Structures are given as C-alpha cells and as structure tokens.
Amino acid sequence: MDIKLRMATIHPESRDLIAVANCEFELAREISIDPEFKGILAERMNHFFYPNRKEHRTKQILAEVSRGVACYAAYSFLDNNVHLDSLYVKKCFRGFGIGEKLVYDVIERARQIEFDEIFLISPKSALPFYRKMGFVGGQVFENAQELVFPL
C-alpha cells in the first residue's frame, strides 16, 4: 500500500480541516464519550478552526492512500516535550502499519527539534500498540494510562 505523509493545511475552508474533523468524530463514535472527553474534543476543534492563534501550536499530519485520508495524528509542543494529542486510523486501514508510520514520523520530527520526550494519554485498548513502539508507562487512570517515549 502506497502511503504518503504530509502536514495538514488547516484553515476554515480547507479540505484537510474536513478530513481531520471527520477522523476526530469517527474516533469519538468509537470510544465511550464521557463529559471530560467532550470538552477535550471541543478544544481540539477550536485548535483546528483557529490555528493561527499564538497559543495554538498543534500540528496535524495526514496519511493518504489512493482512496483518500486513511489516518491522522495531531501533536503539540509543551515546554521541551511533544504531546501526541490524537492518533486515528480509519477502521478499513488498520493493520497495514499506517498508525506506526505516523507515530514514527512524529518521533523523528521531535528528534530533529531536539525535544526531550513525547508523551500521550492512551486508552487501555491502545496500550499494546504504543508499548510495542517503545513507549513506557506513567500515571495510570481509570480507563487510560500516560505513556512516555524518551528521545
């Protein structure tokens, strides 16, 4: 499968914005949405609609295949670390290594900028995926765990 990674161009009229928003809503449908997550999702959408605000430093990477956007990752810079805010692979594209390719791309970008680590909060169902890639455990929550990838 030919996979092309590229930075998303996010502005109110962009096709990339629609692709990212669709992935976020598909993700929201797949996981149980508690009130706290609804707030997080709303904040993410705010970043997408107002990406030029100084305080918004979120970047999105799209993974495209011949049939369109298969996956996307969003990450942001916090102090000297990178936070992997979101990773979503559409169901029909899972198992082809697209998610791994995106995460490794974020890792490489963070290394180039000389950040200390990448961290994320993973739902329990995705812990094996991230651990296989070298992320190690941190704080444990009811249905999730913080994970860190030292650079």
Q: What share of the chain in percent tops pLDDT 70?
A: 81
4-150 folds as: Aminopeptidase (3.40.630)
Give Cα separations from 121 to 10, 18, 21, 89, 110 (angstroms).
Answer: 24, 24, 20, 17, 17
**Would you list the domain boundaries of the chain?**
4-150
Tokens of 126: 């995705």
CA dihedral (91, 92, 98, 102) in degrees, to 10, reads: -40
Work out whether strand 81-89 and strand 117-123 pair parallel, antiparallel, or are unpaired: parallel
Low-confidence ranges of the chain (pLDDT < 70): 31-57
Task: Phi first, then psi: give them for residue 51, nearest 5 degrees.
Answer: -70, -15
Residue 81's pLDDT is: 87
Residues 109/98, Cβ–Cβ less than 8 Å:
no
Residue 118's pLDDT is: 95
